[in-house]
Amino acid sequence: MSEIKIICQNKKARHDYFVEDSMEAGIVLWGTEVKALRESKANLVDSYVQIEAGEAWLIGAHISHYTPANRFNHAPVRRRKLLMHKRELNRLIGKVKEKSFNLIPLKLYFKKGKVKVEVALAKGKKLYDKRRTIKQKEANREIEKAMKYDRN
C-alpha cells in the first residue's frame, strides 16, 4: 500500500455539497509550487474544477509563495491543469451536463512523491439540508458521549 501524505482538505465542501463520487487526478505544477506544497502551504476553499475543450482545470486553488524562491516564484492563484484519462474525463463531462453535478476538489495529497487531487462529483445542498447534517452530527456526538460514559 502506498503512503499518502495529505497536504490540505476542503472541509467546507462536505458541508456545502452531497458528494456522490470521487476520483484521483494528477496536477501540472511548477517547481516552486511543489516546494510550497511540501510545506503544506495550500488552500482549496472556494476552488472548483472546470472542463474546457476536453481538459480539466483546477480554478481558485491557492498555493502560497515559496519564500526562498524570491523573484522566481509562481502566481498563488492560477489555473492548473488536471491530468485524467480520457474515458474518466468523458464520464465526468456526461454527468456534469446530464445531471447538473458540480466538480469540486476534496483534498490535495502526495502519493508516491507525486501531487494528486481528489476530485468529487457533487450536488449542492440547500440550507435545510445543511441544518439537517449539523443536527445529525450533534446527535451522533451525544450518542458517542453517552456510550463512552456507560462503559466506565
pLDDT at 2: 64
Q: Which of 38, 60, 57 is nearest to 47 (CA)?
A: 60
Written in H, E and C, the secondary structure of 79-100 is CEEEECCHHHHHHHHHHHHHHC
Q: Is residue 139 pLDDT above 80, yes or no?
A: yes
Query: Which amino acid makes up residue 147?
Result: M
Q: Is the pLDDT reported for residue 69 higher than 90? A: no
Mean pLDDT of 79-98: 90
3-class state of residue 26 by DSSP: strand
**Per mean pLDDT, which of 19-28, 70-79, 93-102, 125-134 is the most reliable?**
19-28
Instruction: Kindly report the pTM of this predicted structure.
Output: 0.79
Beta carbons within 10 angstroms of residue 24's beta carbon = 13
Q: Which domains does the chain have, with CATH numbers?
A: 4-125 (2.40.280.10)
Mean pLDDT of the 53-63 span: 92
- Do 26 and 82 touch, CB atoms closer than 8 A? yes
pLDDT score, position 71: 80
**pLDDT for residue 22 is more than 60:** yes
